[in-house]
């Protein structure tokens, strides 16, 4: 199994096979517009802008599971992200990321992070998962870790170097 075995719904309600990203490095993040961590959109957009030509794609998945910090519709979320953070990386329809209604992609991500890079369940908005070019989850980062702190690992994957 890999992330390529899943399909998701885009924020504009289109079905998207994650196999469309085969060969890319993916940074998959659960997001929210009304969270104290929402300014991380700036860092996520920076990573996307900096590395998209090197085969890195950021994928944002809004979720309203943490203190109702993403109550809007998909249209409202898309507009908020574009207007306030100039987000151009792919956004997807609002999903549950944990619990019995969790999207299967997030169950897969949480359960397939190799030790010692697994930080546990998704504890809050902006938990990040780094996926290599083969579709395998290689690292999980806690919500409070700023995207800029992940950049070194992304550079290593882009350069074919091992992660520590």
What is the pLDDT averaged over residues 118-129? Answer: 92
| Alpha-carbon 67 to chain mean position | 19
Q: How confident is the model at residue 70 (pLDDT cuts 50, 70, 90)?
A: very high
Which of 9, 35, 96, 136 is catalytic? The answer is 35
Average pLDDT (151-155) is 97
Respond yes or no: is residue 81 known to be catalytic. no
Residue-range domain boundaries for the chain: 3-158
- What is the C-alpha separation between 105 and 91, in angstroms, rounded? 15
Rounded to the nearest 5 percent, the helix, strand and coil shares of the chain are 35, 20, 50
Task: State mean pLDDT over 121-145.
Answer: 96
pTM as predicted? 0.96
The residue-averaged pLDDT of 32-53 equals: 97
CATH superfamily name and code, 3-158: Glutaredoxin (3.40.30.10)
């Amino acid at each position: 199994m890999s992330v390529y075995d899943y399909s998701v719904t885009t924020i504009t309600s289109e079905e998207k096979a994650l196999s469309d990203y085969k060969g890319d490095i993916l940074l998959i993040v659960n997001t929210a517009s009304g969270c104290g961590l929402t300014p991380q959109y700036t860092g996520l957009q920076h990573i996307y802008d900096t590395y998209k030509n090197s085969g890195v794609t950021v994928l944002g998945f809004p979720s309203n599971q943490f203190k109702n910090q993403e109550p809007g519709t998909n249209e409202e979320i898309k507009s908020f992200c574009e207007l306030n953070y100039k987000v151009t990386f792919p956004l997807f329809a609002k999903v549950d990321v944990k619990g019995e209604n969790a999207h299967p992609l997030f169950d897969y991500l949480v359960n397939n992070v190799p030790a010692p890079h697994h930080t546990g369940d998704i504890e809050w908005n902006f938990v990040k998962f780094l996926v290599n070019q083969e579709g395998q989850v290689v690292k999980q980062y806690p919500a409070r870790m700023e995207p800029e702190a992940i950049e070194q690992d992304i550079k290593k994957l882009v350069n074919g170097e091992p992660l520590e």
